[in-house]
Structure 1
Amino acid sequence: MYSNDGFRELDRDECLRLLAGAPIGRIVYTRQALPAVLPVNFGLDPDGAVLLRTAADSGLTHAVDGAVVAFEADAVDTATQSGWSVIVTGHAAVVTDPDEHDRLSRTGPRSWVPAPSEVFVRIEPELVTGRELVAGRTMYGVRIAS
């Protein structure tokens, strides 16, 4: 669906396809009763869950386990003034099942900063939204030459 503001809403499948190709995202969670945003590398499970791999004793692990979080990834091309943004909102949980942990150790994301003891955090995609900037710089639906 196109709107008159130069953005197009993305459906769930488009969002997940774009996420699968993004190397970095941002997890949005609550830290000391305030919003916190942390850039992270990640992976997607076949069911669309966002997967993070982090230190078992990290502040992030303790803050997000059992909490509702948001996860955002995007891509921007400044030359063409185009891009996209996808947000996944859902419950986060540390993976505790040993078989699931073993599977994710083989197939899941690799930590860019390995720790002696790592866990996987799964964000279940309860709400997946996204939009694409398709018009570049526009004013009242007319493209402005730069």
Structure 2
Amino acid sequence: MTKFLLAVHVLAAIVAVGPVTVAASMFPPAARRVLAAPDDPSAVGTLTVLHRICQVYALVGVVVPAFGFATASEMGVLGSAWLIVSIALTALAAVVLGALVLPAQGALLEGRGANPARLAMFTGAFNLLWATVTVLMIVRPGSTTGA
């Protein structure tokens, strides 16, 4: 059962978190292009699609920690420091995405004067948090499982 849960957890991370990180990273440069040429309907359409990808996959991404908890429970590592740090960083990444990245994207789409550079900073923080979680999941400092 552990291998199944771990496989679903990893696949969910790839399928759900990957598109959010890519689409969120593409959004600030696309927003700069829209601000430079506001009458280009394809550029605005690109922003709309990227924002929708971020919204949908942010919701789908909820399955990643759900299967992560199930896997950790099955493995008996719920109290491990590397996992607790990963959980905290995952929660922080969710907050950054939900409270900073998505609203800033929405503000840019609605023309409410959001700053693409600031959005890029929030997106970079979100991506850095996920990269750190990924490294912790692979390296598992102090783990006795041989990784």
- The TM-score with structure 1 as length reference comes to 0.26
More helix by share: 2
More strand by share: 1
